[in-house]
């Protein structure tokens, strides 16, 4: 994973919010920022019915899908029990206030 792609500035993503990256081979990827400025990325598609996770409410290290309220862990992409399912996550890092995603 040496190939990092610059996505945006950290400040472009609101705290407890997200932005969507359109990545041709991956489809839509939601990039989230937590309250302590950690950044996470995963498919913008809830494992339940495909809801846009990027539009959900972010809290702690979780996002709540706007459609049916499933909670998805931002770090592992897994649905929080008792729901079962998962989302593909992508590696991201923040350096000098800029967000990079592993290509």
Residue 58 beta carbon to another protein: minimum distance, rounded to whole angstroms: 7
Contacts 24+ apart (CB under 8 A), 20-24: 20/44, 20/54, 21/101, 23/101
Strands (E), the chain: 4-9, 17-23, 27-33, 39-43, 57-59, 62-64, 71-73, 89-90, 92-95, 98-102
Site for another protein in 10-69 (CB under 8 A): 14-17, 35-36, 49-52, 55-60, 62, 64, 66-69
Q: How far is the CB of 52 from another protein (least distance, A)?
A: 5
* Nearest distance, CB of residue 35 and another protein, angstroms: 5
Question: Quick one: 25 or 36, whose CB is closer to another protein?
Answer: 36
Is 86 an interacting residue with respect to another protein (CB under 8 A)?
A: no
């Amino acid at each position: 994973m040496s190939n990092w792609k610059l996505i945006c500035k950290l400040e472009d993503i609101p705290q407890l919010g997200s932005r969507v990256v359109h990545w041709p081979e991956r489809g839509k990827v939601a990039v989230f920022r937590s309250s302590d400025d950690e950044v996470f990325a995963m498919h913008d598609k809830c494992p339940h019915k495909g809801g846009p996770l990027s539009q959900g409410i972010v809290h702690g290290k979780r996002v709540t899908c706007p459609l049916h309220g499933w909670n998805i862990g931002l770090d592992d992409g897994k649905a929080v029990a008792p729901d079962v399912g998962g989302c593909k996550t992508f590696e991201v890092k923040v350096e000098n206030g800029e967000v990079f995603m592993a290509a």
